[in-house]
Amino acid sequence: MSDVIDRPILAEEEAAKSRLRIIDCDVHPSIHAHGDLDQFLSKRWQEHLRTYGSHLRTPYIGTTPYPRSSPLIARRDAWPPTGGPPGSDLDFMRKQHLDPLNVEYGILQVLDLFIFSQQNLEFGAAIQRAINDWQLAFWSDRDPRLKASILAGQDDTQFAIAEIERCAKIGRYVQINVCPRANEPLGRRRYWPIYARAQELGLPLGIHVGGYGGHAPTGGGWPSYYVEEHQSNAHTMAAQLTSLVLEGVPERFPDLKIVFIEGGFGWIPSATWRMDRHFEAFRSEVPHLKRRPSEYVKEHFWFTTQPIDEPDEGKHLRSLIEWVGADRLLFSSDYPHWDFDDPRYAFKTPLSETERRKIFNGNARALYKL
Amino acid sequence: MARHIVARTSDIPPGGNKVFGVDGRDIVVFHVNGEFFALLNRCPHEGAPLEKAACVARLTSPEPGIYQRSRVGELLRCPWHGWEFDMRNGQSYFDPKRVKVRSYPVAIESGEKLQKGPYVAETFPVHVEDSYIIIET
């Protein structure tokens, strides 16, 4: 008999669930077939996609460096009955995810074609532009619950700015996405024009795990197994939080809001404690910082919940939520990927009514102005 | 213990499964190598439907580079997070004492035998030559 499955749902949990609609900050739509992008790509790039295809900044032609845990990293039950890859059929997404889980809004996060990791930056930029249009035509226009993000790979900073301007004029995107694995750490000045524009436009900067910047995914080199690489998502996010804070991005752009997506949140306390201690010792090296690193983290950063760390004892998760702060957490499911979190069962510790409202709905509503 | 006649053995092909609503619960019956196993159709972790699980072998490795498969098709791998369960008793591979899927005894009885007993289900046409799957809950 399982201790989890037989846990009775408390009356108040049931009531809270029925009242609360979910804002899911990480929903992955997929391109049904590359031809769907034709209408948004110039002839030149249509031909390039067909002739040369995708080439990443890794030595693995036509594949990822690690075998994923399941085909297309998807839930086995998420393959649409109509064919096509998981996440490519809106009707099925509605039926399997949006409707039954009472999703009020889903923030789209597109990963197809390794949008941020193309070796050919011009091709990457063309795809980003096409996918930005595709998100509206194929998803947001057809279901107003689904909100698009402006994909703007930062390594071609000039293109990124132009694309942000173009999409901002359309006015229907809720976020600007850059990549956590790029040529240089995200705090570098070369990327600041993007942050300046995001601040002016009042759009949060979204950073979803993944991508291949050409560097090994861990600080120790290339690991042997996917399970090791998957673990490195957290290290990457910790490295980027450190870079953004210590290189002074929140100090320089005080109104910029930054969202870390799919990095989980278990690593945040130790990363911020360590930065604070080191800041006390080395503050003369970074005199541009006016406050303790943890203060910047508390005020400028948000973190989506999935994958939620699941310690053996629920009380440790409770402490973690308190350390990070229920104000900083945004619920995300990662639908339709294999490590999807169901909002009803994802938290292996009880949440108060206030925490539940903030995490599942309120924080995202305020952040994305929904 | 209530007995529920749910299907003919021939209704579930080898390697396949079928879900039955029994007393308000969804119970999934797997057919593996001539045997039938019945489990609650929910992963104890986050409730994924186990009917979509992969039926895999137990994979062990006495040392790096040496891999052994055993009990082919008898382990379930949850369709979401990949947690593995033993189909025979619902035990999880990684934490067998604490995390289990509820499992139910399955009996296979001939139509002839059932026809003589009290369990002639009105909704099932009974052919005496067939065998029937019975779940005990």
Do B80 and A338 count as a contact with CB atoms less than 8 A apart?
yes
pLDDT (tens digit per residue) in B21-78:
998 999 999 999 999 999 999 999 999 999 999 999 999 999 989 999 999 999 999 9
pLDDT (tens digit per residue) in A307-346:
999 999 999 999 999 999 999 999 999 999 999 999 999 9
- Count of alpha carbons within 13 angstroms of residue A128, beta-carbon side: 31
The interface predicted TM-score (ipTM) is 0.84
Q: Is the pLDDT of residue A19 over 80?
A: no
Residue type, A369: K
Host H or E run for residue B74: strand B66-77
B119 Cα to chain A: minimum distance (Å): 28
pLDDT of residue A248: 98
* Preferred mutation among B56, B80, B85 to probe A, highest tally of A CBs within 10 A: B80
Do B102 and A2 count as a contact with CB atoms less than 8 A apart?
yes
C-beta of residue B51 within 8 angstroms of C-beta of residue B12: no
Do A5 and B49 count as a contact with CB atoms less than 8 A apart?
no
Instruction: Give ∠ CA A333-A336-A342 in degrees, rounded to 5.
Output: 35
Tell me the residue length of chain A.
Answer: 370
Question: For A334, which residue in chain B has the nearest alpha carbon?
Answer: B80
Quote the percentage of chain A above a pLDDT of 90: 84
pLDDT (tens digit per residue) in A151-176:
999 999 999 999 999 999 999 999 99
B99 Cα to chain A: minimum distance (Å): 5
pLDDT of residue A83: 93
Helix axes A121-134, A43-51, angle to 10 degrees: 110
pLDDT of residue A15: 54
Residues 99-128 in B contacting A (C-alpha not used; CB under 8 Å): 99-102
Do A5 and B98 count as a contact with CB atoms less than 8 A apart?
no
A and B: number of Cβ contacts within 8 A: 52
B33 Cα to chain A: minimum distance (Å): 22
Give whole-number Cα distances, B128 to B9, B118, B125, in Å: 13, 15, 10
Using CA atoms, how far apart are residues A107 and A258, in angstroms rounded to an integer?
15
Indicate whether this model's pTM tops 0.80: yes
Do A70 and B99 count as a contact with CB atoms less than 8 A apart?
no
C-beta of residue B134 within 8 angstroms of C-beta of residue A39: no
DSSP secondary structure of A178-218? E-SSSSS-TTSGGGHHHHHHHHHHTPPEEEES----SS-SB
Mean pLDDT of chain A: 92
Residue type, B75: L
Considering CB atoms only, which of B45, B52, B82 is closest to A77?
B52
pLDDT of residue A58: 81
Do B79 and A2 count as a contact with CB atoms less than 8 A apart?
no
- Residue B76, chain A, CB below 8 Å: the answer is no
Residue recorded with tokens 């973190």:
A303
Do B45 and A70 count as a contact with CB atoms less than 8 A apart?
no
- Residue B5, chain A, CB below 8 Å: the answer is no
Question: For A76, which residue in chain B has the nearest alpha carbon?
Answer: B79
Chain B contacts of A340, Cβ < 8 Å?
A: 46, 80-81
Provide the 8-state DSSP code for A339: T
Tokens in use for A33?
């077939």
pLDDT of residue B115: 62
Give the residue from A226, A242, A241, A154 showing the smallest Cα distance to A190: A154
* pLDDT-derived band at A242, boundaries 50, 70, 90: very high
Residue type, A219: G
Using CA atoms, how far apart are residues B78 and A350, in angstroms rounded to an integer?
24
Write A80-89 long-range contacts (CB < 8 A, 24+): A84/A30, A84/A32, A84/A33, A85/A30, A85/A31, A85/A32, A86/A30, A86/A336, A86/A337, A87/A27, A87/A28, A87/A29, A87/A30, A87/A335, A87/A336, A88/A29, A88/A30, A88/A31, A88/A32, A89/A32
Beta strand A173-178 pairing with A258-261: unpaired
A133 Cα to chain B: minimum distance (Å): 31
- Residue B86, chain A, CB below 8 Å: the answer is no
* Preferred mutation among B17, B28, B45, B92 to probe A, highest tally of A CBs within 10 A: B45
pLDDT (tens digit per residue) in B82-114:
999 999 999 998 889 999 999 999 999 887 777
**Which residue(s) pair with A105 in the sheet?**
A23
